[in-house]
């Protein structure tokens, strides 16, 4: 069949979801569609960014996987912007958002488009059929008629081992000891840190201490257009309040009744800094009320990155100043083994190999997981092969791309890439470029805690190549 475009579908996704997306791409391929998936199409040594832009221009449609990880990805937003440009230039180009993950952010753009909902693993066949109908531009109707039997991914149901490593146990024990004296704690984490097994471990540890029904996780609405009623309705749902919550007063009243009937409560909030300013202020006010009403039984943990640190250190929300600030510690050798378990890597490696992986990845979690691809069956890690192949991997190029486009940053970044010590560390980084590099997890504190250095030589090498020197 003649195709006016090179690709039928361009798949935009965060690499954290790559396993699930790969199965989706295989199902689309089995349905006779030519799919652009970066891990299939980009060759070694090929320039990453131009290839992606060219693929979008040469695709009939774009599918964007909307997940919690996608919201944190500047690159997914960049690809969506390119799709919007293509949609304006080519009226036949179609953008199809699909929802994946337990807590999908309410991106503003998905409000104006019908989304295909893949969040329920048991309804995958129905969602895939609806996607096929969207691709073919026809209404789905009441029945499912598939030409293939799609493979059903099972990644939502990964189990986390209850047997934590000693380092993980020590971190959790030390961390929760803060709640003996502080009822509100801010946990700062650089990009790609507070995910997967660590986040689940924090929640699991809280459930052990406070009871499973006395722990709730809140993810406030991300949309800047969310009014306060919508904002608190979502929070009430996250807290599983038995009574309807439609405003701030409803929320504090419902949660207060919950505390009076159930006793101690632990609340974990993620994504607070991404919600709109009105919502932040209103929620902070209600949290202050709960903290004052229940000083001995209400325990609050707010997790975030750069924007949460800005709110804390600039004093924008005075309630946050009463909290204890805590930086997520660097990964350890034990964490390498935990990540292997999370990624279902079956290789048996020694402590020395785990240490080599930690060193050459700069203890960056995404780079650590990519190291697993270079483990031989005997568990040997090839450093040279790893460095050679990683120079063309999309992830590192995505880190540097935003800086390349800004001439003011490009010259300074070239100078910083020449240095062993980037700058002195301070709790609040006023320099916009340094702050961005730190929270993107490209630089870290050195062993003394006094200086900021590049995470690893690989980042410096790729950065120099991108910058052209």
Largest CA distance in the chain: 70
Query: What is 7-143's CATH superfamily?
Result: Toll/interleukin-1 receptor homology (TIR) domain (3.40.50.10140)
Same fold, 7-143 and 166-327: yes
Q: Looking up tokens 């891990």, which residue turns up?
A: 39
Question: 66 with 104: CB under 8 angstroms?
Answer: yes
Question: 386 with 393: CB under 8 angstroms?
Answer: no
Whether the pLDDT of residue 34 is over 70: the answer is yes
Between CA 337 and CA 352 the distance in angstroms is 12
Query: What is 166-327's CATH superfamily?
Result: P-loop containing nucleotide triphosphate hydrolases (3.40.50.300)
Strand residue runs (E) in 91-182 = 94-99, 116-117
Question: 278 with 248: CB under 8 angstroms?
Answer: no
Confidence of residue 74 (pLDDT cuts 50, 70, 90): low
Beta carbons within 8 Å of 196's beta carbon, 6+ residues apart: 160, 342
CB environment 201-210: b (16+ within 10 A), e (fewer)? bbbbbbeeeb
Domain ranges of the chain: 7-143, 166-327, 333-467
> Collapsing DSSP states into helix, strand and coil, what is residue 463?
helix
Question: 439 with 191: CB under 8 angstroms?
Answer: yes
Q: What's the pLDDT score for residue 265?
A: 94
Between CA 176 and CA 119 the distance in angstroms is 32
Lowest mean pLDDT, pick from 246-250, 370-374, 431-435: 370-374
DSSP codes joined into one string, 272-301: GGGS-HHHHHHHHHHHHHHHHH-TTTEEEE
Helical (H) or strand (E) element with 217: strand 215-218
Whether the pLDDT of residue 15 is over 90: the answer is no
Q: Write the pLDDT tens digit of every residue in 408-448.
A: 788 899 899 999 899 999 999 999 999 999 999 999 999 99
Instruction: Estimate to the nearest angstrom the gap between the alpha carbon of 345 and the chain centroid.
Output: 21
Strand residue runs (E) in 221-328 = 265-270, 298-304, 324-327
> Counting runs of H as helices and runs of E as strands, what totals does the chain give?
21, 13
Q: What's the pLDDT score for residue 211?
A: 92
Q: Write the pLDDT tens digit of every residue in 141-188.
A: 888 888 888 888 875 444 343 445 555 567 788 888 888 788 899 999
């Amino acid at each position: 069949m003649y195709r006016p475009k090179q690709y039928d579908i361009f798949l935009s996704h965060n690499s954290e979801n790559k396993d699930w997306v790969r199965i989706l791409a295989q199902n689309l391929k089995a349905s006779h569609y030519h799919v652009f998936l970066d891990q299939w199409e980009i060759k070694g040594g090929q320039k990453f960014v131009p290839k992606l832009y060219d693929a979008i221009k040469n695709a009939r449609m774009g599918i964007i996987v909307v997940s919690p990880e996608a919201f944190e990805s500047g690159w997914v937003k960049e690809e969506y912007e390119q799709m919007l440009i293509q949609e304006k230039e080519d009226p036949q180009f179609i953008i199809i958002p699909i929802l994946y993950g337990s807590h999908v952010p309410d991106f503003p753009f998905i409000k104006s488009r019908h989304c295909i909902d893949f969040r329920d693993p048991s309804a995958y066949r129905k969602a895939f059929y609806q996607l096929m109908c969207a691709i073919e531009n026809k209404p789905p109707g009441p029945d499912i008629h598939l030409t293939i039997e799609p493979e059903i991914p099972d990644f939502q149901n990964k189990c986390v081992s209850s047997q934590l490593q000693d380092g993980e146990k020590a971190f959790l024990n030390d961390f929760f000891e803060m709640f003996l004296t502080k009822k509100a704690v801010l946990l700062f984490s650089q990009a790609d840190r507070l995910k997967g097994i660590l986040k689940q471990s924090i929640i699991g540890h809280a459930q052990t201490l406070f009871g499973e029904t006395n722990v709730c996780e809140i993810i406030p609405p991300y949309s800047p257009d969310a009014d306060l009623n919508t904002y608190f309705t979502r929070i009430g749902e996250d807290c599983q309040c038995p009574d309807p919550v439609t405003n701030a007063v409803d929320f504090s009243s419902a949660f207060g009744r919950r505390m009076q009937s159930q006793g101690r409560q632990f609340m974990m909030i993620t994504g607070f800094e991404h919600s709109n300013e009105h919502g932040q202020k209103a929620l902070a006010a209600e949290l202050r009320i709960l903290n004052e009403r229940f000083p001995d039984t209400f325990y609050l943990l707010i997790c975030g990155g750069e924007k949460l640190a800005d709110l804390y250190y600039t004093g924008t929300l005075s309630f946050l100043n009463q909290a204890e600030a805590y930086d997520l510690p660097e990964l350890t050798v034990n964490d390498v083994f935990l990540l292997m378990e999370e990624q279902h890597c079956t290789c048996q490696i020694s402590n020395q190999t785990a240490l080599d992986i930690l060193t050459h990845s700069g203890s960056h979690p995404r780079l650590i997981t990519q190291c697993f691809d270079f483990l031989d069956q005997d568990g040997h890690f090839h450093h040279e092969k790893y460095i050679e192949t990683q120079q063309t991997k999309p992830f590192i190029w995505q880190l540097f791309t935003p800086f390349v486009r800004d001439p003011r940053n490009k010259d300074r970044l070239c100078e910083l890439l020449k240095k062993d010590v980037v700058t002195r560390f301070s709790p609040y980084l006023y320099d916009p470029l340094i702050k961005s590099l730190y929270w993107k997890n490209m630089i870290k504190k050195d062993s003394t805690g006094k200086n900021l250095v590049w995470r690893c030589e690989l980042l410096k090498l790729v950065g120099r190549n991108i910058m052209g020197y």
